[in-house]
Every structure is written in C-alpha cells, then in structure tokens.
C-alpha cells in the first residue's frame, strides 16, 4: 500500500501513515523494478499531481494485479472517464475527507488479509487462485483481481442473493461507502467475460438488492 499524493494531502495523512508509505511521484513507482512493483497491492493516487491521467495504464502494466484508488476532482475529471481507466476504487474530493481517511485506515489493517485461501470448484467451473484462472470444459480465461474476487464471492453463494454492500466489502473492503457505480461496471464486465468465453449468462440483477449467480 503506497500513496502518490500532493504535499497537502500527505500532511493530512501523516498521523496514520509514516513517510515510507509515500512515493514522490508517479515516476518513482514506474522506476521500481518489476519484482518490487509486484509486491504492491494498493496504490492511492491524487489526480492533480499526474501530468497525464493516462499514465495509470502504464502503472497497471507494471503490476497487473495492482488496485488503484483514485482521489479525484469530479469538476475536472468526470466519473465516466475515471471508470474507463484502470481504477478499482474512485473517490471524489467533494466527499468527506474524514470518511476517506477512515477507509484507508481500515484498508491498512486488512491489507494482509485475503479471504480467498484455496482453489474453488463448483458446477463445472474451477477457480485457480494462483493464476486467477477460470476453467470449464478445458477452456480457460484469465481474470483480473477484481473480476476473480467478485466471481468467487458470487460462487460461494450460488443460488442465493448477494447484497451490493456484501460484494463491496468482500471485493474492495469498501464497506464505508455506498456508491455502487464501480460494482455495476465490474459486474457488467464479468457478464461479458462469461458470455464470450463460456456462452453463459448466470448473473441476475435483483432489483434494489444485489445480484444472484445461478450455475
């Protein structure tokens, strides 16, 4: 877990996050060797210190499993554009900073905890946690970290309704927030993957509640 933020934001975080949590800029991360970059799970980035917002794509290339949390100004950077970037969690600056800080502190405490401990098999589908692979009938597809965790959470409750809040908490440690736009985008992507690769459409939307997987 590292930060790439302005000095002003860093000052607000210093009480809970010491100096070693901060990169001086985007290039500091990009200059890391591949092995060191791959050890990072979360990168919290403030939009206004990036010369080019598309540098986020280079960061994702450096570590495909990296989860980027973007702290952005919605006046200058619209949510639709943010969701087209490799951003796992968007957080708008017009929201309560204390709430954002609370989330970061909880994330810091839980960063080493991974709820997925072993490979998982159900109804002909096999999830490989090491490779993030979904396999069925000898066909394989590699999932992103978010897609993998999302599918795992749904498969654990196959045939049952899973609330949006449960998915936000399990997949993103996102229990302090109620914005579900990010979840909806990733559900849509997961549906497309399942349809394209396995010709199945097992994820149902349960109105005002959440989602249900039936396989």
For the chain, the distance separating the N- and C-terminal CA atoms, rounded to the nearest angstrom, is: 35
Q: What is the model's pTM?
A: 0.59
Report the CATH number that the domain containing residue 142 is assigned in CATH. Answer: 1.10.10.10
**pLDDT for the residue 174:** 66
**How many residues are there in the chain?**
215
Q: Say yes or no: 128 and 198 in one domain.
A: yes
pLDDT in tens, 195-207: 999 999 999 999 9
Report the CATH number that the domain containing residue 32 is assigned in CATH. Answer: 3.40.50.2300
Strands 125-128 and 42-46 turn out to be unpaired
The answer to whether 92 and 85 have CB atoms below 8 angstroms apart is no
pLDDT in tens, 32-91: 887 678 778 899 999 999 989 999 999 999 888 788 999 999 999 998 899 899 998 899
- How high is the mean pLDDT of the chain? 88
User: How far, in Å, CA of 106 to CA of 68, rounded?
Assistant: 16
Beta bridge partners of 211: 162, 205
115 falls within a domain: no
User: How far, in Å, CA of 10 to CA of 87, rounded?
Assistant: 20
Q: Domain residues for 83?
A: 2-110
Q: Say yes or no: 104 and 144 in one domain.
A: no
């Amino acid at each position: 877990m590292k930060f790439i933020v302005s000095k002003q934001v860093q000052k607000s975080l210093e009480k809970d996050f010491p100096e070693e949590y901060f990169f001086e800029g985007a290039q500091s991360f990009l200059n890391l060797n591949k092995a060191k970059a791959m050890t990072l799970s979360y990168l919290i980035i403030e939009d206004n210190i990036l010369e080019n917002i598309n540098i986020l794509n280079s960061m994702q290339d450096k570590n495909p499993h990296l989860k980027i949390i973007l702290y952005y100004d919605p006046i200058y950077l619209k949510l639709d554009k943010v969701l087209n970037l490799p951003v796992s969690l968007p957080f708008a600056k017009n929201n309560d900073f204390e709430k954002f800080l609370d989330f970061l502190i909880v994330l810091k405490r839980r960063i080493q905890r991974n709820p997925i401990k072993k490979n998982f098999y159900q109804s002909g589908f096999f999830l490989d946690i090491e490779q993030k692979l979904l396999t069925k009938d000898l066909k394989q597809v590699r999932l992103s970290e978010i897609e993998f965790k999302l599918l795992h959470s749904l498969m654990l409750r196959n045939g049952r309704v899973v609330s949006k809040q449960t998915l936000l908490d399990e997949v993103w440690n996102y229990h302090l927030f109620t914005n579900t736009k990010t979840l909806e985008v990733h559900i849509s992507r997961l549906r497309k993957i399942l349809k394209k690769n396995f010709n199945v459409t097992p994820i149902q939307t349960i109105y005002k509640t959440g989602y249900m997987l039936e396989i």
